[in-house]
């Protein structure tokens, strides 16, 4: 998202000099967990294959979203800022239907996933109609 906006603050939110105004950004607090490319956490027999057909690789800044977030604008390939984390993440996967108001952040290994645990985070994105 910040790739298209000039003048972002440290969290990736456009400042007053940006072409985008902060009111254009969608903001939501969600529960965030972390996952890896371990076979027991992904598609058995086809590790790294995401629900939309993307091939995930270690080190990608990718997230999976709960399906209730898709109609809110967090669709495939949406760029997302996660407060407290550097960079921009891309929606590459969707979670099992049982989850609500949740994102899953791709990390390199299970140690990092356990360290992350689960916590509330604020995410920001530009709705497709706004970009």
Domain boundaries, the chain: 22-126
SS3 28: strand
Backbone angles phi, psi at 21, to 5 degrees: -100, 150
**Three-class DSSP category at 98:** coil
pLDDT at 34 over 60: yes
Q: Is the pLDDT of residue 88 over 80?
A: yes
Whether 63 has a pLDDT exceeding 60, the answer reads: yes
Strand, coil or helix: what is 83?
coil
- pLDDT > 90? residue 68: yes
Mean pLDDT of 3-12: 42
Q: What is the mean pLDDT of the chain?
A: 84
**pLDDT value at 104 more than 60:** yes
Position 131 scores a pLDDT of 44
- In percent, the amount of the chain with pLDDT more than 90 equals 66
Q: What is the pLDDT of residue 17?
A: 43
Q: Which residues of 110-126 are buried (b: 16+ CB within 10 A; e: fewer)?
A: eeebeeeeeeebebbbb
Class of domain 22-126: mainly beta
pTM: 0.79
pLDDT recorded at residue 29 = 98
**Model confidence over 113-123: pLDDT tens digits?**
999 999 999 99
């Amino acid at each position: 998202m910040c790739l298209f906006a000039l003048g972002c603050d440290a969290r990736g939110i456009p400042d007053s000099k940006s072409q985008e105004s902060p009111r254009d950004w969608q903001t939501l607090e969600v529960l965030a967990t972390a996952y890896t490319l371990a076979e027991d956490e992904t598609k058995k027999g086809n590790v790294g294959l995401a629900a939309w057909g993307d091939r995930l690789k270690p080190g990608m800044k990718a997230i999976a979203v709960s399906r209730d977030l898709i109609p809110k604008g967090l669709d495939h390939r949406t760029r997302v800022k996660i407060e407290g984390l550097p960079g921009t993440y891309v929606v590459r996967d969707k979670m099992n239907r049982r989850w609500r108001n949740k994102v899953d952040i791709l990390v390199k290994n299970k140690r990092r996933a356990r360290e992350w645990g689960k916590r509330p985070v604020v995410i920001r994105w530009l709705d497709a109609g706004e970009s």
